[in-house]
Each structure stands twice: as structure tokens, then as C-alpha cells.
């Protein structure tokens, strides 16, 4: 292996590099990086570098050059105290990382681990962590700066509280001691974090929600206060506006900062949210990253996560552009180096590790359409499929196909949705509605639908709900479109079945002074969990209710009256009722309603294929890459749609 040998003068103002320096100038990237980042002169056998004020930065850049030419940087016996200190700190971190790796791999020092377990058992009074949660919490407590990439439903929140229970009960003089939590998360997660604390510790914590209902000046005054709450909850969008105040808060308190759904800071192109979070990282006493999807686009999504947990260390030895290249290649040899670099500071529990009873995937229930719906659907399908098959303009076709798919999906469940402009559904289709003309004549034909017929899926779903309720069960019904949620709610209420809805417009609780008459998400979920709840049915939208919502303790049935090609939302919705904590013998049931001879069958088949592929990725890869998993509508979906339509219509 090539070597570069580093020497320095007494005050570190000059660094001398000898060894395989010819390899630097023979490598275009290394030579360019050297010229762009360091002030140097070259002699026959050495490079002489004039350092900046920060000697560490100069050495970091030399190590980067070593990566380009596959060389090792070694230190001669003639180095300054500053360089020697850098080398010692580097070795300390290497030893620290190796111990974290051993803990991650369940090679713990028995006495230390036993002491940790005793502390957690004494202080986390209301919750017993399972073995992998204890290991995860111990790993976090040791490293203090770590990522948890466990699957949804593995209990990541409990792991954080387990580590916090230990760290907050250390002697205040201990360097690892923390006594406050700052949770940065989506607004929908505020309630679950508060509830989980109470369930873990057996008492309500002092909390402060810094949400949109709190004036900016009030938020700032709170962060400057001498006695902040034990748990402060903040949205990602608020971080850039409160950066200076957050830095003061973190410098004057012992705070463990948790990024929940941390993939929201993956933007490496200068996004203000990601930049704001990274700028406060240096001031945290402990840093935690939580996400079940650490690399949704590729390995580059890991970059900011590790930059946050170790802001002063270069844990990932690659730049963003290199990580992007590695994501595209099937077998890039650099991936092994990446994984070895990051694995000491992440832990991941797969779904197969949880021992959850297998769910029951009931056979799809094929529902014949009503006479009017059948007529409308057939007209739409014939016209739109002809357009899809015959279109030659690929740029136009992408928007056209997504628009047509939305209309066929709507007609397959409830033709009344066809009266709503396409622009209302852009979030679900990911297309430009202005590029697609509406068929006004057809819309006029279906305006009377709601007055003449009840959607057949509504009737069948009601029958299943009645059977579940009669057996003492509760059920969540999943629908894609808000109007279907509201129409189905109205239909159930008209049939004497009480229910509630969870979708984008359902308000999130703002704080202690919430109006009790307002049906917030937290209140609905809390009431649903009560044994004497007045309603047994929740109708929800997976697009809006995919994070931090757990229903598995009281609900073991899910009905899907409609689905899109988006496999990520589908799997997340299933995980709402199939998570760790299910009692042995619990039977979780999924019911899928498909309109007969419609796009529903293609969606069902494609989702099963995507879910199978996704589960394989999740279970087999140390860090799952979803970039090529085609989670949303893709070419294979359209090909399957065309093939199914052609085969079906040939038989007619």
C-alpha cells in the first residue's frame, strides 16, 4: 500500500509530506484537490505545505488526498505537539468506534451491560424492553451519538427513552449526563412522544410544544428561559428560524437531541432545513437519528445523518458525488468501505427480528360494480386506455397516464370523485395537472351519480365492519382520496355506525390548552384505544397518516377500499396495526376490496410484487436502498396495466 509520511515544524506552521508523492500528481482528482485546498510548494522528493490556523483541517485534507490515491498517512517521529495530539485523538476515536461496533454486534462487557440493565429497570419503571431494544439502548447510551435504522414498529421511541433513563440518572458531573430532550420531528409525532414517555416512566413529563400555535417571540423566550421543560418538541421547519436561540438552549442545558423521521434532513444541496439542523449539531450533549428509511434515494442520504451525529468527525470517507455513484452501481467495491465506516454508529432491527405473529393476508374480495358505476367505468376505461396505448409523446404521456390512472382509480371506487378537478389530486399522482385536459362532457354525465347509487365497495366494507364489530373488534379503513374518506364516513353514519377520520385536515393538538371539543388526531387515537370507546372504526389516509401512529394495541383489522401504486404508503399503513407489542395468538387481518374487471386488480398484483421486493431489500441489506424499487407509479406498472386490459377485453 502507498504511504505518505507527515512531518511538521515546532509550531505546525509548515507540514512536510514525503513518500509516494508522485502518485498524487499522477491522479487528476488528487492533484486538483491538493491545488484547490492547500498552499504548497513541491520539491523533488517532498511537498511542503503552509498551514492555515486550523492544523486539523490541513491534516483532514491530506487524509482526503490519501483516499484518492489509496495511500496510508503515517506520522514521523518529528511532529509538533498539535499534530501528535491530532494523531492521539484519531486513535482514541478509532478505539471508541471499535467498542461501539462490538456492542452493536452484541459483544458487550458483561458487567457494564448488567449495570446498564439494572439502571434502566429501576428508572424505566413502566416498560420492560425486549433484548434487542436493550442492546440498542445500551449502544446509544455508550456512543451518545448514534443512528437507529430499525423498521417501523420496532420500538425506536422506547429505545431512546431507555438510553435517556440511564444517562439522566448518571452523576451530573459525568461527561455523559443529560437531563433534557429536544425532539425534532413532524408535528404528528408530538403526541406519540409524550404518550410513550408516560407509558415508559409511569408519569407525565413536563413538555413544551413549539409548534405553529406558539408565537415566534414566545418560542425564543422559552429557549432562553432558565427552567425549560424536560421534553421540548419542535418541527423541522422551525429550526432555521430559531437557530441562534437553539444554540443558546443547547449550550446552557444538557440536551439529548433526537431527529425523528430523520430522512427529512437528507438534502445535501443546501436546503435550509438540513443546514439549520446541522448547524446546531455541535452544541448537543447527545445526538440521536431515528429513521426506518435511512437511504430512500441512495447512499448519499446517509451523508447528513452522520454529519449530524458526529459533526467534528469524518465518519463517512466519501463525498456526496461518490455516494451517488455508489448507489447507481450494482456492486461498487467502495460500498464495503462505507458500511464498515458507518456501522459502529448505527443499529438496525429488522421485522423478522421482532417475533410478531404473522398477519393474515385475506384473499382479495372482488366486488361487482353497481349498474351506473359499471357503465361509467367502462366508458372511461375504454377511452383512457386507448389514449395510453396510442400516445407517442413520452413527455406528455407521463402526465397523461398518471391523470388517466387517477380517474380510473376513482371510478373504480366512487364515480362521484370524477366531478372534482384533477389539480386536487396532484399530491397523489405526481404530475402536472395543467398538461392534461379534463373531459367536461363525461364529467357532466356523472354529476348525478351520488343521487342514484351507493358505491358497491362502500356496501361491502360496511358488511365486513359489522362482522368485525359484532365480534368485539375494531377496524381501520384505508382510502386514498379525501372525498372518499368523507363520503364513506357519511355513509357509515347513515347506517348507524359511529366512526372518526384521520387525514391531512384532521387537526394536531397544539398544547395543554387545547379545546376539548375539537377532534384532534391525538384525541381520536386516545379515544379509540379506550375499551369503552364510542366508535370502533377509523377511516384514514395513508398519505397523511404514515408516521408515528400506532393502533396495534387495540386494532387488528384493516380494510382497503382503494389503493394506489405507491408501495411505501401501502407498507406503512399495514405497519400501523402490525408492530412489536402484539400479544401471542393475536390475529391481524387485512381485507382488500377490488372492483370487478377494473384497474384495482393490476394495482393489487403490482403492490404484492413491490412489497415482496421491498421486504427482501429490508431484510437482506444492512442499509436498504429503495432507489430502484419503483415504489411509486412506474413503467412496469403501466406495462402491467396495458397487458391486463388487453387480456381482459379479448375475452369479452
- pLDDT tens per residue, range 138-192: 999 999 999 999 988 889 999 999 999 999 999 999 999 999 999 999 888 898 8
Q: What is the pLDDT of residue 241?
A: 93
CA pair distance 327, 625, nearest whole angstrom: 8
* Cell digits of residue 266: 437528507
In which residue are the cell numbers 416512566 written? Answer: 201
Check whether 103 has a pLDDT greater than 80: yes
Task: State the Cα–Cα distance between residues 62 and 482, nearest whole angstrom.
Answer: 56
Handedness of CA 499, 505, 511, 516 (dihedral sign): negative
Q: Is the pLDDT of residue 480 over 50?
A: yes
Highest-scoring range by mean pLDDT, 344-353, 390-399, 460-469: 460-469
Q: How far apart are CA 402 and CA 408, in angstroms?
A: 10
Which residue bears the cell 369479452? 652
* pTM for the full predicted model: 0.81
> Helix, strand, coil: what percent of the chain each, to 5?
50, 15, 35
Cell representation of residue 593 = 376490496
Q: In whole angstroms, what is the distance from residue 60 CA to residue 313 CA?
A: 10
Separation of alpha carbons 546 and 469, rounded Å: 24
d(CA 243, CA 238): 9
Whether the Cβ atoms of residue 422 and residue 438 lie closer than 8 Å to each other: yes
307-316, 354-363, 391-400: lowest mean pLDDT where? 391-400
- pLDDT at site 554: 94
- Decide if 35 contacts 66 (C-beta within 8 A): no
Phi-psi region of 145 (alpha: psi -120 to 50; beta: other; left: phi over 0): beta
Which pLDDT tens digit goes with each residue over 113-129? Answer: 999 999 999 999 999 99
For the sheet with 286-290, list strands across it.
207-210, 231-234, 180-184, 255-260, 286-290, 145-148, 346-347
Residue showing cell 413529563: 205
> Picking from 54-68, 222-236, 349-363, 595-609, which range would have the lowest pLDDT averaged per residue?
54-68
Closest CA to 303 of 330, 338, 259: 338
Helix (H) or strand (E) holding 390: helix 371-390
Q: Which residue has the higher pLDDT, 442 or 290?
A: 290
Plot region of 179 (φ>0 → left; ψ -120 to 50 → alpha; else → beta): alpha
Mean pLDDT (the chain, rounded): 88
The mean pLDDT of 74-95, rounded to a whole number, is 84
Exposed/middle/buried for 350, CB within 10 Å: 0-12, 13-18, 19+? Answer: middle
Task: Say whether pLDDT at 342 is over 90.
Answer: yes
Rounded to the nearest 10 degrees, how much is the dihedral formed by the CA atoms of 376, 381, 382, 388? 150
pLDDT at 627 over 80: no
**Secondary-structure class of domain 134-353 per CATH:** alpha beta
State yes or no: pLDDT of 431 exceeds 50: no
Q: 124-155 burial, b if ≥16 CB within 10 A, otherwise e?
A: beebebbebbbbbbbbbbbbbbbbbbbbbbbb
Pairing, β 2-8 against β 14-19? antiparallel
Distance CA 4, CA 64 (A): 12
- Residue 577, classified by CB atoms within 10 Å of its CB into exposed (0-12), middle (13-18) or buried (19+), is buried
601 confidence band (pLDDT: 50, 70, 90) = very high
Report how far residue 346's alpha carbon sits from residue 256's, in angstroms, rounded to the nearest whole number. 17
> C-alpha grid cell for residue 390?
396510442
Rounded average pLDDT over 479-506: 94
Work out the average pLDDT over 391-402.
63
Residue 553 has pLDDT above 80, yes or no: yes
DSSP three-state, residue 537:
strand
pLDDT in tens, 496-541: 999 999 998 888 776 655 555 678 888 899 899 999 999 999 999 9
Degrees, nearest 5: CA angle 483-487-492: 150
366: its cell numbers: 372482488
In which band, very low, low, confident or very high, does the pLDDT at 396 lie, cut at 50, 70 and 90? very low
d(CA 315, CA 323): 13
Place of cell 421547519: 237
Residue 601 grid coordinates: 386488480
Confidence of residue 277 (pLDDT cuts 50, 70, 90): very high
Q: Strands of 71-75's sheet, edge to edge?
A: 39-42, 47-50, 14-19, 2-8, 71-75
Q: Give strand ranges (E) for 327-474.
A: 346-347, 360-361, 365-367
Interatomic CA distance for residues 310 and 97, integer angstroms: 12
Which of the two residues, 331 and 556, has the higher pLDDT score?
556
Q: Where are the beta strands (DSSP E) in 238-293?
A: 255-260, 286-290
Distance CA 440, CA 422 (A): 12
pLDDT for the residue 422? 55
Structurally, at CATH architecture level, domain 2-79 sits in 2-Layer Sandwich (3.30)
CB-CB neighbours of 44 under 10 Å: 5
CA 616 to chain CA centroid, nearest Å: 18
Q: Which three cell numbers stand for residue 163?
A: 438510553
What pLDDT score was predicted for residue 449?
83
Could you tell me how far CA 507 lies from the centroid of its own chain?
A: 22
Cell of 382: 375504454
Here the cell at position 429 is 399522482
The pLDDT > 70 percentage for the chain reads 92
Per DSSP, the three-state class of 148 is strand
Give tens-digit pLDDT for 248-264.
999 999 999 999 999 88
> Would you say 298 and 627 are in contact if contact means Cβ atoms under 8 Å apart?
yes
Confidence of residue 437 (pLDDT cuts 50, 70, 90): low
**553 neighbors 478 (Cβ within 8 angstroms):** no
C-alpha span between 471 and 36 (Å, rounded):
72
Q: 57-62, long-range: CB within 8 Å, 24+ apart, which pairs? A: 58/15, 59/6, 59/15, 59/83, 59/86, 60/314, 61/33, 61/37, 62/4, 62/6, 62/15, 62/17, 62/38
Give the domain ranges of the chain.
2-79, 134-353, 368-451
DSSP string, 498-523: --EEESTTSPPP-STT--TTS--HHH
Amino acid at each position: 500500500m502507498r504511504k505518505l509520511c507527515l512531518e511538521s515544524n515546532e509550531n505546525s506552521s509548515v507540514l512536510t509530506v514525503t513518500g509516494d508523492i508522485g502518485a498524487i500528481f499522477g491522479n487528476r482528482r488528487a492533484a486538483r484537490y491538493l491545488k484547490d485546498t492547500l498552499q504548497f510548494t513541491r520539491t523533488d522528493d517532498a511537498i511542503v505545505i503552509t498551514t492555515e490556523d486550523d492544523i486539523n483541517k490541513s491534516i483532514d485534507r491530506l487524509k482526503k488526498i490519501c483516499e484518492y490515491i489509496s495511500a496510508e498517512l503515517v506520522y514521523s517521529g518529528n511532529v509538533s505537539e498539535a499534530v501528535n495530539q491530532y494523531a492521539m485523538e484519531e486513535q482514541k476515536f478509532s478505539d471508541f468506534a471499535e467498542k461501539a461496533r462490538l456492542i452493536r454486534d452484541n459483544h458487550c462487557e458483561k458487567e457494564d451491560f448488567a449495570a446498564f440493565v439494572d439502571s434502566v429497570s429501576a428508572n424505566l419503571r413502566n416498560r420492560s424492553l425486549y433484548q434487542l431494544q436493550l442492546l440498542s439502548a445500551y449502544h446509544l447510551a455508550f456512543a451518545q451519538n448514534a443512528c437507529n435504522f430499525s423498521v417501523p414498529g420496532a420500538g425506536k421511541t422506547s429505545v431512546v427513552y431507555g438510553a435517556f433513563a440511564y444517562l439522566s440518572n448518571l452523576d451530573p458531573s459525568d461527561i455523559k449526563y443529560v437531563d433534557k430532550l429536544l425532539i425534532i420531528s413532524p408535528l404528528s409525532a408530538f403526541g406519540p412522544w409524550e404518550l410513550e414517555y408516560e407509558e415508559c416512566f409511569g408519569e407525565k413529563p413536563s413538555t413544551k410544544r413549539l409548534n405553529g400555535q406558539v408565537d415566534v417571540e414566545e418560542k425564543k423566550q422559552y429557549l432562553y428561559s432558565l427552567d425549560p421543560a424536560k421534553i421540548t418538541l419542535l418541527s423541522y421547519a422551525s429550526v432555521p428560524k430559531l437557530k441562534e436561540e437553539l444554540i443558546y438552549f443547547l449550550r446552557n442545558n444538557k440536551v439529548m437531541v433526537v431527529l425523528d423521521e430523520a430522512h427529512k434532513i437528507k438534502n445535501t444541496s443546501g436546503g435550509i432545513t438540513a443546514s439549520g439542523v446541522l448547524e446546531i449539531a455541535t452544541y448537543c450533549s447527545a445526538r440521536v437519528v431515528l429513521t426506518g428509511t435511512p437511504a430512500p434515494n441512495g447512499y448519499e442520504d446517509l451523508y447528513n445523518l452522520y454529519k449530524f451525529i458526529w459533526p467534528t468527525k469524518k465518519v463517512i470517507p466519501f463525498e456526496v458525488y461518490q455516494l451517488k455513484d455508489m448507489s447507481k452501481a450494482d456492486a461498487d467495491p467502495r460500498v464495503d468501505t462505507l458500511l464498515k465506516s458507518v456501522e459502529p454508529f448505527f443499529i438496525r432491527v429488522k421485522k423478522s427480528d421482532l417475533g410478531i405473529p404473522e398477519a393474515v393476508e385475506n384473499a382479495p374480495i372482488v366486488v361487482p360494480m353497481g349498474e351506473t358505476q359499471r357503465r361509467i367505468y367502462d366508458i372511461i376505461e375504454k377511452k383512457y386506455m386507448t389514449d395510453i396505448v396510442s400516445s407517442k409523446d413520452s413527455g406528455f404521456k407521463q402526465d397523461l397516464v398518471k391523470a388517466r390512472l387517477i380517474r380510473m382509480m376513482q371510478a373504480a371506487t366512487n364515480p362521484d370523485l370524477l366531478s372534482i378537478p384533477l389539480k386536487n389530486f396532484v399530491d397523489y399522482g405526481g404530475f402536472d395537472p395543467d398538461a392534461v385536459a379534463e373531459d367536461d362532457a363525461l364529467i357532466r354525465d356523472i354529476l348525478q351519480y351520488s343521487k342514484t347509487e351507493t358505491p358497491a365497495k362502500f356496501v361491502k366494507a360496511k358488511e365486513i365492519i359489522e362482522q368485525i364489530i359484532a365480534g368485539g373488534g375494531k377496524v381501520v379503513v384505508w382510502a386514498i382520496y379525501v372525498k372518499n374518506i368523507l363520503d364513506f364516513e357519511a355513509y357509515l353514519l347513515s347506517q348507524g355506525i359511529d366512526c372518526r377520520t384521520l387525514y391531512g385536515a384532521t387537526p394536531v393538538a397544539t398544547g395543554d390548552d387545547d379545546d376539548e371539543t375539537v377532534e384532534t388526531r391525538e384525541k381520536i387515537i386516545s379515544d379509540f384505544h379506550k375499551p369503552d370507546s364510542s366508535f370502533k372504526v377509523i377511516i384514514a389516509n395513508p398519505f397523511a397518516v404514515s408516521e408515528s401512529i400506532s393502533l396495534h394495541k387495540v386494532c387488528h383489522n384493516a380494510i382497503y377500499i382503494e389503493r394506489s401504486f405507491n408501495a411505501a404508503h401501502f407498507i406503512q399503513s399495514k405497519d400501523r396495526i402490525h408492530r412489536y407489542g402484539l400479544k401471542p395468538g393475536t390475529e391481524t387481518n387485512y381485507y382488500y376490496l377490488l372492483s370487478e374487471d377494473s384497474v384495482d386488480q393490476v394495482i393489487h398484483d403490482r403492490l404484492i410484487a413491490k412489497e415482496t421486493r421491498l421486504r427482501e431489500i429490508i431484510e437482506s441489506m444492512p442499509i436498504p436502498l429503495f432507489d430502484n424499487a419503483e415504489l411509486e407509479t412506474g413503467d412496469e406498472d403501466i406495462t402491467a396495466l396495458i397487458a391486463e386490459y388487453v387480456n381482459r377485453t379479448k375475452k369479452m
